[in-house]
Amino acid sequence: MRIDRASERGNAASWLLALLVIALLIGGWFWLQGKSGSPSNGEPPADDGPPSDEQDGPENGPADPDDEPAEPPALVDEDGRVFSYLPVGDLLPNSGPGLADDTVYRSDILFPTEDAVYLNSQVYRYGGMNGALNGMNGAQCDARNYDYPWQDTFCEKRDRNQPLCPGGGHEGLDIRPHTCAKNTHWAVAVEDARVIDVRRHWVTLQTEDGTLYNYLHLKMDALEVAEGDLVAKGDRIGMISDNFFKSDGTSVPTTTHLHFEMYENYVASPGDDPLFTKVNPYVTLVAAYDRKLRAE
């Protein structure tokens, strides 16, 4: 049988042309889909590109306010007043050198009072014997003494110097109770501890690991504790009052406030006896009050 080579070549060319046309049609269809941004399954295209470092600008519009981080809520006390405090070591003018110690010595103590309180000077504010130095003339029960911000009084200048506060003398913090009324507001144990000393106008607690706390100017004839007692964190110690006694037993009433002291202990070298040193508990008490207001 005779094979027509020319006819065979013509048929092959026709098939190749048809396949080329089909390929072009399919390619064009995919190209149109890509331009439209809509894949064949109808889902939006995935963004496979790297994240952009560009910030919202005029072309993109301002950032959504809902995306901005919210400020933490203000801490308010039982009266609805917003808690605030001045930096550690920031004392009133003319009142002493201060001691800027920003250490939180105990991160889990309870605040030493049941009610809201105000930390500020008993001597250099309204009603204090040196209040006139800063134009703070008035009485101890002046409402301006019972408000925030708190102010540090550690190393405030008093009538004698102390080892930790040369040129100062006040190695503790003065805490005004919730109101000016004495024998009404309670001081409480900041930690589980033992009452190791009750004398004149103060009570001393010591924790199992040695930290000491002094509570001064309580109503000493109506304490809730006695020397040797074990107390749990939050137990009542006594009512904040104005008791003050000289070493000879002479009563010299002071203002109604709680004077609070803290001693940390440490061992200088292995085998040595523990040493005790007073510390400024201002930042420690700020942290404890913060937890108190948050009910933590």
More confident residue, 266 or 201: 201
246: left (phi over 0), alpha (psi -120 to 50) or beta: beta
Burial bucket for residue 88 (CB in 10 Å: 0-12, 13-18, 19+): buried
Average pLDDT of span 22-37:
55
Above pLDDT 90, what percent of the chain? 61
Q: Is the pLDDT of residue 70 over 70?
A: no
Whole-model pTM: value is: 0.74
Please report the pLDDT score of residue 19 as a whole number. Answer: 60
- The domains located in the chain, with CATH, are 118-293 (2.70.70.10)
Q: Which amino acid is located at 147 in the chain?
A: D
Q: Is the pLDDT of residue 238 over 90?
A: yes
Average pLDDT of span 195-213:
95
Residues 225, 238 contacting (CB under 8 angstroms): yes
Residues 6+ apart with CB under 8 A from 18: none
Token readout for 45 is 């295209």
Q: Is the pLDDT of residue 31 over 90?
A: no
Distance CA(285)–CA(144), nearest Å, equals 21
- The three-class DSSP label of residue 242 is coil
Rank 12-16, 156-160, 236-240 by mean pLDDT and report only the highest.
236-240
Average pLDDT of span 111-130:
96
Please report the pLDDT score of residue 55 as a whole number. Answer: 47
Q: What are the backbone dihedrals phi and psi of residue 219, each rounded to the nearest 5 degrees, phi first?
A: -75, 100
Q: For tokens 């009570």, name the residue.
A: 203
Q: Which of 173, 118, 174, 122 is nearest to 148 (CA)?
A: 118
Neighbours of 136 (CB within 10 A): 18
Distance CA(153)–CA(166), nearest Å, equals 14
Q: Is the pLDDT of residue 10 over 80?
A: no
Q: Is the pLDDT of residue 231 over 60?
A: yes
Q: Is the pLDDT of residue 128 over 60?
A: yes
Q: Is the pLDDT of residue 45 over 60?
A: no
Q: How confident is the model at residue 160 (pLDDT cuts 50, 70, 90)?
A: confident
